[in-house]
Amino acid sequence: MGSLKLSHLAETLIASEIVRLGATIKEKIKAGDHIYNYTIGDFDSSVFPIPAGLQEEIVTAYKEGYTTYPAAEGELDLRKSIAGFLKDNADLDYSPQEILVASGGRPLIYSAYRAIVDKGDKVIYPVPSWNNNHYVHFTEGEHVVIEATRENNFMPTADQIRPHVKGASLLAVCSPLNPTGTTFTKEELTAICDLVIEENESRKEGEKKLYLLYDQIYWTLTFGNTVHYTPVSLRPKMKDYTIFIDGISKAFAATGVRVGWSMGPAELIQKMRGINSHVGSWAPMAEQKAVAKFLTQKDALDAYFKEFKSEISYRLTTLAEGFHQLKKEGFSVDAIAPQAAIYLTVQIDLTGKKTADGTIIADQEAVTAYVLDEAKLALVPFGYFGAGKNNSWYRLSVGCCKKEEIGTVIEKLRNALSKLS
């Protein structure tokens, strides 16, 4: 098998490091370990089920025989409901012709890249971030990587982006950000929009524009005083250059229901539809019909979001407080106060420390392994999201976190840290 020759893409595509970490965790669980698995950007459906009203609508849709091919662009009733939901909740004006539905956010990101990026085109994206490196690889674009820092909550800044916009085809960002759960400030996003507008107005007629891919799949999950901003609401001119990635996977704990949507310029949306139609990445008909109805049920939506956000916020805040307490006790850990999404950004900086048997923890991979072995806590290092391999920050996901286990998790981590010298 080792001599099998396949395409350059297949031969060079990097496997997911998160999947590899997941395999290690599964082996430990098989061996009898109780692992607190906070690596998954998903939900335990016994803790976070999809909204009851949405589930009822899905069952009804199947009973009513909605099991055929949907429209390639998404069913019209769903696109109308999405337009209404966006207008009511995000103050965004999009017509059904400017909305494309697919089986979650991934095929929409893929088709946006495919519709915009040619071989050799510059694609600007920050790290840490989710999967941009793979999508650039798919399209054979030129990686222009910006290393975001703790000082800006790991969000890229206009000053970092500015030197690279000349000749670039795509700027890919996400807010709230996976893996950090942090968001753009109004000022920083406005400055980035101004950069894009200025660059596009300097380009000649017929020249490809610089597009902004704005992944806002977590935008309904903001906490405390955090406000979600969009490029189009801050700078209406950005409607010509922005492709939104959105959907129900995180908003309704519905990662397996597979209904996502993209909003953007009608002509671009049409090209993305063509690409997706050949891939066959439409959302199932019954789920589309169900989401179309559920998005119009304002009282049910409000009640669901109130409860759901409260549960997520409690977990993020309590874990952050636990990390801050450990920091006060002198341990080399930290956490950024949660802003949005289902993620907490935590730091575990143990490189160079000695374990009880005298072994030196040589690098961040060893830190990750130590925390998994000794504290039974599984986290994803930022190195898996494109940041440096020895970046000491991690993504902690609470989608599979039970409230009653948080105290135990912090205590186990405290014990593991106490064994080091």
- pLDDT for 1 beyond 60: no
- Asked whether residue 187 falls in the same domain as residue 81, the answer is yes
Pick the last residue of a domain from 298, 330, 357: 298
**What angle do helix axes 285-294 and 52-63 make, rounded to 10 degrees?**
140
The answer for 360, left when phi > 0, alpha when psi is -120 to 50, beta otherwise, is: beta
With residue 301 as reference, give the H or E element that holds it.
helix 298-328
In 3D, which of 408, 414, 253, 388 has the Cα closest to residue 330? 414
Give the number of other CB atoms < 10 A from CB of residue 307. Answer: 11
Q: How confident is the model at residue 212 (pLDDT cuts 50, 70, 90)?
A: very high
Beta-carbon contacts of residue 291 (< 8 Å; ≥ 6 apart): 54, 57, 78, 81, 248, 257, 259
- Asked whether residue 229 falls in the same domain as residue 343, the answer is no
> Rounded CA gap, 79 and 82, in Å?
5
User: Strands, E, within 272-415: which ranges?
Assistant: 333-335, 343-348, 377-378, 380-381, 393-397
- Asked whether residue 41 falls in the same domain as residue 129, the answer is no
> Rounded CA gap, 151 and 70, in Å?
46
Looking at the domain assignment, is residue 398 inside a domain? yes
**pLDDT tens-digit profile of 248-290?**
999 999 999 999 999 999 999 999 999 999 999 999 999 999 9
Q: What is the mean pLDDT of residues 132-156?
A: 96
| Cα angle: 215, vertex 52, 260; to 5 degrees | 20
Q: What b/e readout covers 66-81, taking b as 16+ CB neighbours within 10 angstroms?
A: beeebebbbbebbbbb
pLDDT of residue 238: 98
End-to-end CA separation in angstroms for the chain: 46
> Rounded CA gap, 63 and 234, in Å?
43
Looking at the domain assignment, is residue 21 inside a domain? yes
- Asked whether residue 282 falls in the same domain as residue 166, the answer is yes
Q: What is the mean pLDDT of residues 135-155?
A: 96
Reported for 149-155, long-range contacts at CB under 8 A and 24+ positions apart, including other chains, are 150/336, 150/393, 152/188, 153/180, 153/182, 153/183, 153/336, 153/339, 153/345, 154/126, 154/128, 154/180, 154/182, 154/336, 154/345, 154/382, 154/393, 155/126, 155/180, 155/182, 155/183, 155/184, 155/185, 155/188
**pLDDT tens-digit profile of 342-400?**
999 999 999 999 998 889 999 999 999 999 999 999 999 999 999 988 899 999 999 99
Looking at the domain assignment, is residue 108 inside a domain? yes
In angstroms, the Cα distances linking 154 to 18, 41, 149, 262, 266 are: 20, 18, 5, 25, 32
| Residue 156: strand, helix, or coil | coil
Pick the last residue of a domain from 283, 298, 313: 298
Looking at the domain assignment, is residue 371 inside a domain? yes
Pick the last residue of a domain from 270, 298, 326: 298
Q: What are phi and psi of 271, to 5 degrees?
A: -65, -40
**151: containing domain:** 52-298
pLDDT of residue 283: 97
- Asked whether residue 62 falls in the same domain as residue 170, the answer is yes
For the record, the structure tokens of 329 come out as 């006790």
- Asked whether residue 205 falls in the same domain as residue 284, the answer is yes
According to DSSP, the β-strands at 99-102 and 260-263 are antiparallel
- Asked whether residue 292 falls in the same domain as residue 210, the answer is yes
More confident residue, 223 or 16: 223
86, 187, 164, 143 alpha-carbon torsion, rounded to 10°:
-50
State the total domains in the chain.
2
Looking at the domain assignment, is residue 3 inside a domain? no
Could you tell me the CATH number of the domain that includes residue 315? Answer: 3.90.1150.10
Looking at the domain assignment, is residue 2 inside a domain? no
- Residue 114 contacts residue 275 (beta carbons within 8 Å): yes
- Asked whether residue 293 falls in the same domain as residue 306, the answer is no
- Asked whether residue 188 falls in the same domain as residue 252, the answer is yes
Looking at the domain assignment, is residue 35 inside a domain? yes
- Asked whether residue 255 falls in the same domain as residue 309, the answer is no
- Asked whether residue 39 falls in the same domain as residue 93, the answer is no
With residue 416 as reference, give the H or E element that holds it.
helix 406-418
Kindly state the DSSP code that residue 177 receives in the 8-state scheme: -
CA-atom Rg of the chain in angstroms: 22
Could you tell me the CATH number of the domain that includes residue 290? Answer: 3.40.640.10
Looking at the domain assignment, is residue 200 inside a domain? yes
pLDDT of residue 381: 95
The percentage of the chain sitting over the pLDDT mark of 70, rounded to a whole number, equals 100
Give the number of other CB atoms < 10 A from CB of residue 414. Answer: 16
- Asked whether residue 98 falls in the same domain as residue 246, the answer is yes
**pLDDT tens-digit profile of 165-193?**
999 999 999 999 999 999 999 999 999 99
- Residue 128 contacts residue 161 (beta carbons within 8 Å): no
- pLDDT for 44 beyond 80: yes
- pLDDT for 75 beyond 60: yes
pLDDT of residue 2: 59
> Rounded CA gap, 133 and 386, in Å?
8
- pLDDT for 17 beyond 80: no
pLDDT of residue 319: 98
